[in-house]
């Protein structure tokens, strides 16, 4: 597989991270190095191994199926960069018509 | 009274008996922090006001005849990825630079309930991604044994705080070695418990299948004391086990190591390893043999060969998912933009540092369509193989003795531009996280250069107490880690 700018830029777009032009090539080199290290895993015999087994032999506990009162809504909202009433405030998805509420 | 030389149980006993006040002990800690912090930068936030209030509360409990708890008046430091209500919790990142959580982490609650007084939030690699505490938005921390060197990471600030005598006990988190490696670099003890032993409620997640909280300390007794306080079931963390916990303090005071089989890992001694660290392994093996243990050679070939690449697929994959929440909407830093997607992108691009971006991009890549099976799924299978390999090894031994890191603490800046070499620093610690095992760094001495040496002990899952017992025997021979002072600082 060829590791090039396109692969790095795609990962950046999916990550919602903008790469400065001067940082793309160093990231491409890093990708080549680290993915080169990943190749060694091909030597491990994983035939028949279940990848989704748990480390723990206890079953994962489930929460009760009922409403839980959460009393720190105001404090949580206070941490928001912008809020309006009981809502977080963000710009419109399409960039028009002012801020949207989510 | 030189509080910086005292262990936690001595301070707590003196406070409980009314011989000294918690305010006095905490003030001494704050004074030392004030004197040394300009050189160490081990703390992101000093919690002077809250600490003195808490100390006065503990003194009030003593005065009224209430039991103030086993950590009464003991100053402690917690890593800055553990939530503290109303006190900023930055994770060493610009993106959370001013965030004040509306609740305390479970370990913070447990420490304060036990009478401990949190004096500061420690410096760390951003979101715990790093091995040197150089990747902090708040500047690098220094190693108190030699301030030209790194304290290790990512919990470098917590390790430095314990080594410098700010506090007898500090808490860190360990995803791939982030307690054990800085403990080794700063010359203190550090324990990463079994996955599921300690609640992670209120720990900002890096890689959820690997993260675990544990203590640093300058005596095995203090590590045991901290473990007795923080290890309990918590229904708020679904991965926190309901199993009964042993008494760690009993393990420290009455270590029963006679007859234990200690495994030495051939592969880990054949690769690059500083000669002083190899000598530490040999010296520690001799101590354990003279205490009635038997040495058995074991092989961890797959862990040695595949641990590092396996970890650097799984941890970034989980990180890329966990860190998706930082988008400037609900908390933390926001870069304004005219539309929502641009706001996400600008906020994340200027809010995260370079190492975090590297890991998010790597994680996104290995999870993305077309590469998921080849990398992420394969790594999960290899992880299972590594778990099975440890299980096989533990059929013939009770504890494994191995190095913590390949080198003594390196100089600041030496590996900053070489991320892969930096990752190699965790080659001996991260297989332990992959397998969910408990691992402990035990101090074994200071070299003539003043730099510390240590060994790593690893036990089967839920056998953390064995580590404490072996560590107590090793400490009896090599002594407790001394407080760093004098020329080094």
Q: What is the DSSP letter of B377?
A: I
What's the pLDDT at A64?
Answer: 84
B482 CA: distance to closest CA in chain A (Å): 37
Ordered by start, the domain boundaries in chain B are: 3-260+436-446+464-478
Q: Which of B95, B193, B309, B369 is the best residue to mutate to test the A interface, defined by the most A CB atoms within 10 Å of its own CB? A: B309
Inform me whether the C-beta atom of residue A6 falls under 8 Å from chain B C-beta atoms: no
Q: Do B361 and A50 touch (CB under 8 A)?
A: no
Structure tokens at B67: 């039991």
Q: Do B384 and A56 touch (CB under 8 A)?
A: no
Q: What mean pLDDT do residues B281-287 have?
A: 98
Closest residue of B to A77, CA-based?
B330
Cα(B127)–Cα(A66) distance, integer angstroms: 33
Q: What is the DSSP letter of B143?
A: B
Express each pLDDT in A66-91 by its tens digit.
998 878 888 889 999 999 998 999 99
Q: What mean pLDDT do residues B156-183 have?
A: 98
Structure tokens at A14: 């999916």
B chain contacts of residue A72, beta-carbon cutoff 8 Å? 102-103
Structure tokens at A22: 């001067």
Angle between helices B275-290 and B464-478 (to 10 degrees): 100
Q: Count how many Cα atoms sit within 13 Å of the Cα of residue B401 in the half-sphere of its side chain.
A: 31
B chain contacts of residue A60, beta-carbon cutoff 8 Å? 238-239
Closest residue of A to B317, CA-based?
A15
Say if residue B373's pLDDT is above 80.
yes
| Cβ pair B94, B137 in contact under 8 A | yes
* pLDDT-above-90 percentage for chain A: 62
CB nearest B377 (choices: A33, A51, A56): A51
| Cβ pair A16, B344 in contact under 8 A | yes
Inform me whether the C-beta atom of residue A38 falls under 8 Å from chain B C-beta atoms: yes
Long-range contacts of B230-235 (CB under 8 A, 24+ apart): B230/B107, B230/B110, B230/B111, B230/B171, B230/B198, B230/B199, B231/B193, B231/B197, B231/B198, B231/B464, B232/B110, B232/B199, B233/B199, B234/B106, B234/B199, B234/B201, B235/A61
What's the pLDDT at B486?
Answer: 67
Q: Do B348 and A15 touch (CB under 8 A)?
A: yes
Express each pLDDT in B9-37 by its tens digit.
999 999 999 999 999 999 999 999 999 99
Inform me whether the C-beta atom of residue B337 falls under 8 Å from chain A C-beta atoms: yes
A chain contacts of residue B379, beta-carbon cutoff 8 Å? 38, 41
Residue B161 is a catalytic residue = no
What's the pLDDT at A62?
Answer: 81
CA B81 to chain centre: 11
Cα(B43)–Cα(B79) distance, integer angstroms: 9
What's the pLDDT at A29?
Answer: 97
Q: What is the mean pLDDT of chain B?
A: 97
Q: Quote the pTM value.
A: 0.96
CA B149 to chain centre: 18
Inform me whether the C-beta atom of residue A37 falls under 8 Å from chain B C-beta atoms: yes
Q: Do A41 and B340 touch (CB under 8 A)?
A: no
Express each pLDDT in B52-100 by its tens digit.
999 999 999 999 999 999 999 999 999 999 999 999 999 999 999 889 9
Cα(B80)–Cα(B120) distance, integer angstroms: 9
Inform me whether the C-beta atom of residue B330 falls under 8 Å from chain A C-beta atoms: yes
What's the pLDDT at B341?
Answer: 94
Instruction: Tell me which residues of chain B, numbers 195 to 214, contact chain A at a CB-CB cutoff of 8 Å.
Output: 195-196, 209
Q: Do B334 and A50 touch (CB under 8 A)?
A: no
Express each pLDDT in B380-412 by its tens digit.
999 999 999 999 999 999 999 999 999 999 999
CB nearest B338 (choices: A34, A42, A95): A95
CB nearest B312 (choices: A27, A34, A49): A34
Ordered by start, the domain boundaries in chain A are: 5-42
What's the pLDDT at A24?
Answer: 96
Order of strands across the sheet with B43-46? B43-46, B117-122, B75-79, B169-174, B212-217, B189-192, B439-446, B452-458, B399-402, B261-265, B294-298
Structure tokens at B354: 């370079």
What residues contact residue B123 under an 8 Å CB cut-off, 6+ apart?
A: B41, B42, B43, B44, B80, B92, B133, B136, B138, B139, B141, B156, B157, B160
| Cβ pair A12, A21 in contact under 8 A | no
B121: β partners: B45, B78
Longest CA pairwise span in chain A (Å): 57
ipTM of the complex: 0.92
Closest residue of A to B418, CA-based?
A30
B271 pLDDT band, cuts 50/70/90, is confident
H/E stretch holding B261 reads strand B261-265
Q: Do B345 and A7 touch (CB under 8 A)?
A: no
Cα(B328)–Cα(A49) distance, integer angstroms: 40
Say if residue B229's pLDDT is above 80.
yes
Instruction: Tell me which residues of chain B, numbers 62 to 121, contact chain A at a CB-CB cutoff of 8 Å.
Output: 99-103
Cα(B204)–Cα(B120) distance, integer angstroms: 17
A chain contacts of residue B377, beta-carbon cutoff 8 Å? 51
Q: Which CATH class is domain B3-260+436-446+464-478?
A: alpha beta
What's the pLDDT at A70?
Answer: 78
Question: Cα-flanking dihedrals φ and ψ of residue B172, to 5°?
Answer: -135, 180
B173 pLDDT band, cuts 50/70/90, is very high
What's the pLDDT at B246?
Answer: 96
């Amino acid at each position: 597989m060829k590791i090039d700018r396109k692969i790095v830029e795609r990962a950046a777009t999916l990550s919602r991270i903008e790469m400065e032009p001067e940082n793309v090539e160093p990231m491409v080199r890093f990708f080549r190095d680290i993915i080169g290290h990943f190749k060694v895993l091909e030597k491990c015999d994983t035939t028949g191994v279940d990848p989704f087994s748990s480390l723990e032999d206890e079953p994962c506990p489930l929460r009760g199926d009922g409403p839980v009162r959460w009393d720190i809504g105001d404090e949580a909202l206070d941490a928001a960069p912008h809020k309006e009433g009981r809502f977080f405030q963000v710009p419109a998805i399409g960039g028009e018509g002012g801020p949207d509420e989510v | 009274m030189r509080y910086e030389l005292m262990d936690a149980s001595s301070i707590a006993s003196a406070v409980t008996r009314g011989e000294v006040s918690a305010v006095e002990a905490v003030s001494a800690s704050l004074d030392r922090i004030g004197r040394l912090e300009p050189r160490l930068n081990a703390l992101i936030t000093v919690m002077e006001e809250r600490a003195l209030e808490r100390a006065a509360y503990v003194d009030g409990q003593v005065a009224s005849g209430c039991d103030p708890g086993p950590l009464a008046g003991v100053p402690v430091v917690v890593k800055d990825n553990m939530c503290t209500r109303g006190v900023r919790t930055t994770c060493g990142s610009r993106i959370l630079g001013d965030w004040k959580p509306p609740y305390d982490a479970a370990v913070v609650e447990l420490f304060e309930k036990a009478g401990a007084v949190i004096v500061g939030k420690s410096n760390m690699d951003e979101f715990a991604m790093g091995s040197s505490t150089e990747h902090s938005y708040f500047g690098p921390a220094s190693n108190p044994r030699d301030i030209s060197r790194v304290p290790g990471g990512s919990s470098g600030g917590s390790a430095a705080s314990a080594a410098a005598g700010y506090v007898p006990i500090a808490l860190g988190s360990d995803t791939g070695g982030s307690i054990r490696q800085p403990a080794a670099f700063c010359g203190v003890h550090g324990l990463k418990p079994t996955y599921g032993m300690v609640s992670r409620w209120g720990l900002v997640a890096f890689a959820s299948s690997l993260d675990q909280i544990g203590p640093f300390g300058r005596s095995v007794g203090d590590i045991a004391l901290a473990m007795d306080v923080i290890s309990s079931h918590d229904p708020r963390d679904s991965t926190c086990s309901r199993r009964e916990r042993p008494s760690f303090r009993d393990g420290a005071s009455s270590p029963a190591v006679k007859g234990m089989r200690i495994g030495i890992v051939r592969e880990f001694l054949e690769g690059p390893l500083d000669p002083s660290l190899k000598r530490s392994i040999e010296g520690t093996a001799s101590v354990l043999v003279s205490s009635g243990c038997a040495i058995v050679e074991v092989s961890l070939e797959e862990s040695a060969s595949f641990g590092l690449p396996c970890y650097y697929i799984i941890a970034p994959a989980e990180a890329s998912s966990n860190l998706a929440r930082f988008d400037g909407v609900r908390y933390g830093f926001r870069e304004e933009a005219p539309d929502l997607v641009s706001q996400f992108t600008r906020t994340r691009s200027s809010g995260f540092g370079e190492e975090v971006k590297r890991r998010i991009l790597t994680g996104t890549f290995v999870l993305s369509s077309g590469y998921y099976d080849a990398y992420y799924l394969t790594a999960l299978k290899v992880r299972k193989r590594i778990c099975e390999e440890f299980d096989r090894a533990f059929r013939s031994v009770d504890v494994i003795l191995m190095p913590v890191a390949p080198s003594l603490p390196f100089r600041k800046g030496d590996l900053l531009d070489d991320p892969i070499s930096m990752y190699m620093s965790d080659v001996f610690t991260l297989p332990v996280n992959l397998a969910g095992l408990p691992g402990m760094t035990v101090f074994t001495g200071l070299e003539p250069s003043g730099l510390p040496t240590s060994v790593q002990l690893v036990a089967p899952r839920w056998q953390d107490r064995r580590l404490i017992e072996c560590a107590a025997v090793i400490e009896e021979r090599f002594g407790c880690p001394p407080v760093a002072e004098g020329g080094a600082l």
